[in-house]
Amino acid sequence: MTSPVRSDILDTELWNAFRQGDEVAFGQIAQRYYKSLFSYGAKFSKDREFVKDCLQDLFMELWYRRETLGDTEFVKFYLLKSLRRKIYKESLKLQWLTSEEELDFDADILEELSIEQQIIEGETHTLQLQQLNRHLATLSKRQQEIIYLKFYEGLENEAIAQVMSISRPAVANLLYRTVQELKSRL
């Protein structure tokens, strides 16, 4: 698996090939972002097929717009933002949400570690991880989403602000507060 931190910026060559209508390059680009996007989408809906459908539509839009797209560095951010909007709109359509509601960011309940994993990770460490996990679950939806976008997707604060449609200082504040809270539980 390649690290998203390094592969966030696509090779110019690949990107250009895609923009000129090379569907293999398109596939490679989609491949690079798929897991990360799915993982984000799955936090808003437990219906895996629904998330996959949204992603199919999202990538096809990217394909149809290939000639009007700009730089490569914003691709991931653009995709995350579009995915969130797409899931929101589709959820409204399917009446999973009403227009007053917001999307709920929610991770699956983690099963406790298996004995093997506990042995591998060491006992005290395991205990700490489980405590933290329980604590993460008590954070607000927004706090969880910020933590996710920052640590898991590696986004800059500016990008997080745009994806979540909140101000940049609000992101910085909430992020700082959340890290402090988590730290106090360590």
What is the binding site for another protein (CB under 8 A)?
1, 3, 5-6, 21, 23-24, 26-27, 30-31, 34-35, 38-39, 42-43, 49, 52-53, 55-57, 59-61, 63-65, 82, 85-86, 89, 107-108, 110, 125, 128-129, 132-133, 136-137, 147-148, 150-152, 154, 175-176, 179-180, 182-183, 186
In this structure, the number of other CB atoms found within 10 A of the CB of residue 165 comes to 10
**174 and 142 Cβ atoms separated by less than 8 Å:** yes
Smallest gap, in angstroms, from Cβ of residue 58 to another protein?
8
Which two structure tokens, joined as six digits, stand for 116? 């093997």
Q: Which is nearer to another protein, 5 or 98 (CB)?
A: 5
Residues 6+ apart with CB under 8 A from 127: none
CA–CA dist 33, 75 (Å, integer): 9
Smallest gap, in angstroms, from Cβ of residue 180 to another protein?
8
DSSP string covering 26-83: HHHHHHHHHHHHHHHHTTT-S-HHHHHHHHHHHHHHHHHTGGG---STTHHHHHHHHH
CA–CA dist 36, 152 (Å, integer): 8
Smallest gap, in angstroms, from Cβ of residue 71 to another protein?
19
